[in-house]
Every structure is written in C-alpha cells, then in structure tokens.
Amino acid sequence: MLVFAGLGNPGAKYQNNRHNVGFMAADAIARRHSFSPWSKKFQGLIAEGALGGEKILLIKPQTFMNLSGQSVGEALRFYKLDAAALTVFYDEIDLAAGKLRVKVGGGSGGHNGIRSLDQHVGNAYRRVRIGVGHPGVKEMVHGHVLGDFAKADREWLDVLLDAIAEDAGLLAMGDDNSFMNRITLALREKLVPTGEDDRPPPKAPKQQSHIRQARAQQPPAKVPESGPMAAMLKKLFGKD
C-alpha cells in the first residue's frame, strides 16, 4: 500500500490558491481513476483506489498547511508504513510556473507543509514539486502563494493536472523519470509553456545618461536675424 498526499489549506477561501495545487492534484487523480468518495479520517479527507497495480490511499490533510505532518503521520502509523511509501504533491516557488520535478528526500526549502512532514515522518519520501513561480522578492512570497491562480494560468494548469492524473501510475511503480518526461511531453503537445528556460530575463538596453537625455530634450538654439551677432554670422558664412 502507498500513500499519496496532496497539500493545501481547507475551505472555500483557499481552494483556488497556488498553495493548494497539491489538493488539486489529489482531486484530479481521484477523478481520473475513480477512487472512492472522500471521507474524513486521520485529520484529513481520504479516498481509496489503485494505481499501477498498487493500492493507494489519497489524503488531503485538513489541519492547515503548517500542520500537514500530523495528518499524514497518523495515516502512515495506522498502516505501519514508513516514509518510503509516501508521495507528496505540493507547490514550489523555486520552479517556474508549469514546471514539475520529482525527487526523494531533501530539505523543506522554506515550505511549511514540508517542514511539518519532515518533523513527523522524516524526509525520505517522494516529493512531486509543482512550480508556481516566484513573485521576485521575498516580501511578496506569502501573498503570491495564498493568491489565486490567474485566469491565464488555467491554460497550463489544467493540462498539467490532467497529465499528473493520467500518469500517476508511473509514480506508484517508482518510475519517476518517465513520469516527469510524460508531463513535459503533454505540455509541449498542447503548446503550453513548460517553464523549461530558467535563465534570468535579458537585460534592458542601456539607457542614455540623464545628462544626454536632458541635452537631447533641449530645443535647438535660435539664430538671430538682426543685430551685431546676425551681422557677424552673415559675414562669417558669406550670407547677404
């Protein structure tokens, strides 16, 4: 038996947040593979089904993100499973929006849900990191992850969630690389940006100095038509 956990915050207020993309992934898997209806257990919502020949328990902790480990840890202990049986779906700001990566182990990267899981079950579990992009500055991260996906995001998000659900059996079989490749291929086939290019944006063209800009904006000097200066210029340039 394996446990697939999607992380998020409970309640309608949060359901479309970037921070809830783990819940969205769990819901997509349950729908695609006809899992049992969601029911309350282990301080969360659970659904049962099968993927890749393995029995799967899907769980969405209802403890709020910061205490996700309480719910998932309780489920693992009940079934006498260790962290190796756990796969977690969650949002990752250090990946470009639309990019997905899978790894086992590692640090929390500042993600409170992962930090809680590490405290309760250790860190030797599979992580499906779903990129939601970074707002650019640390001070904006909280508002970014607790903000809703934009309408434009649905173009890649719906394709990504469908692909996760379609190929989740590869995760159950431990074929992480094939799973990642299938996701990337699905996005490319739909002509959806995958965030493959993580390079910083090109630098803006160098602007003129403020002195040159000021000079360029000055109106051209007027040539006098009469008076001593005019007479001198006519004599200099041979004009009558």
Question: Which residues does the annotation mark as catalytic?
Answer: 19
Distances (CA, A) of 231 to 176, 222, 224, 225: 88, 15, 9, 9
- Closest by CA to 31, choosing from 135, 158, 116, 141, is 158
Report d(CA 77, CA 61) in Å as an integer.
Answer: 15
DSSP β-bridge partners for residue 202? none
Task: Count the alpha carbons within 13 Å of 223 in the hemisphere toward its beta carbon.
Answer: 7
